[in-house]
Amino acid sequence: MKNFFTQNVGWKLLSLAAAVLLWISVASEPELATFISVPVQYKNLSPGVEINSDVVETVYLEVRGPSEALHLPEAPRRSAVILDMADVEPGQRTFTIDSGDVRLPRGVQLVRAIPAQIRMIFEPGATRSVPVEVQFADGLPADLQVLEAAVEPSALAITGPASRVARVASVHTDPLTLKPEVRTSRYRLEAFVNDARVRFQDSPQVTVKVTVGKK
């Protein structure tokens, strides 16, 4: 035990002095406050529950800490508000942002969030099939017309909040510009659902078979 304290005494004293100087520099560093914009992240939302309201993507945080920590370029990138939705059920829910919901760099503390609360509306999810309608762009000569148009698949499955899914009567393809020829052609198109909260369950691509002939 005696050898432990007497061996390499110089190095040990130097290390102790360096540690003391580092502590003094940190302790003497002024504490500042500032505002940073951080992303809002969500976790543990049940697959059977859908968000049916505007989603807050960023909030401002008033934070306090050592000036060096606040001025690091990565400080905003390492910060976030993380809301746990594990126990969320259909209905209206308010989340109050406190220190337990915030990820911040070491030594930085939360003063307040702006906004301090986030209110969201949740409802059960639903899935159903709706027909695909083909949109045609103008451009065929006056003597030509579409004799037949077939879509494969003729219907696509959409999913989202139940009330919004119920309001979607059909989905539409991108406008199709036809070749001005008497012929049967196949086109690969994307379908579009006109509701930001509703999405396709699978690929939204369809094949359209069109026959153009004389009037």
30-115 is classed in which CATH architecture? Answer: Beta Complex (2.170)
Q: Which residues partner with 133 through β-bridges?
A: 172
What is the reported pLDDT for 140? 86
- Could you tell me the pLDDT band of residue 186, with boundaries at 50, 70 and 90? very high
pLDDT tops 70 at residue 6: no
Give the span between the Cα atoms of 184 and 178, in whole angstroms.
10
What is the reported pLDDT for 17? 60
Amino acid at 137: A
DSSP-derived 3-state class of residue 189: strand
What is the reported pLDDT for 100? 94
What is the reported pLDDT for 12? 57
Q: Where in the chain is the domain with CATH 2.170.120.40?
A: 125-214
What is the reported pLDDT for 4? 47
DSSP 176: B
125-214 is classed in which CATH architecture? Answer: Beta Complex (2.170)
- 92 alpha-carbon distance from chain centroid: 20
The full 3-state SS of 16-75, as one line of letters, equals: HHHHHHHHHHHHCCCEEEEEEEEEEEEECCCCCEEECCCCCCEEEEEEEEEHHHHCCCCC
> How many residues appear in the chain?
215
pLDDT tops 70 at residue 47: yes
pLDDT tops 60 at residue 74: yes
For the entire predicted model, the pTM comes to: 0.74
What is the reported pLDDT for 206? 97
